[in-house]
Amino acid sequence: MREGAMFHPRFLAVLTSAALVAATLWGLVSNASAQVVIPTNRNTLIQQNELQTLQNQLQRQQFQQQQQLYREQDRQIVPKPRPEVPIVKQSCQSQVIGTTISRVCR
């Protein structure tokens, strides 16, 4: 590579930041221009906002209903009881040999 063709990392970071700022500003300007209310289309804009509001409410209700169903299903699932495992007792025998008592467990 030639020396003049390489860019300094700091320059690339500044260039990337500038591009992000420009893209963000362009998005804000284009969004703001989309909200310009033309008197003939005012009712249409109001209807679209009302429709969006109703859709959001419906989605919230559906989500809440789904969560209620999940909770009901969770309540119906009965945890399995712990399995009964037989306890094996040790069989111990005491042996007296002279003055010593010894215990043998198996």
pLDDT tens digits, residue range 21-79?
666 766 655 555 555 556 567 888 888 999 999 999 999 999 999 999 999 988 887 77
Any domain includes 16: yes
Q: Indicate whether 69 and 55 sit together in one domain.
A: yes
Average pLDDT on 9-20 reads 70
Q: Which domain holds residue 54?
A: 40-74
Tokens standing for residue 16 = 């990337």
Separation in Å, CA 96 to CA 59, 63, 75, 90, 105: 82, 76, 60, 19, 14
Any domain includes 60: yes
Q: Indicate whether 30 and 15 sit together in one domain.
A: yes
Contact (Cβ atoms closer than 8 angstroms) between residue 54 and residue 67: no
Tokens standing for residue 21 = 């700022």
When comparing pLDDT for 99 and 40, which is higher?
99
Which pTM value belongs to this model? 0.36
Any domain includes 93: no
Give me the number of domains the chain comprises. 2
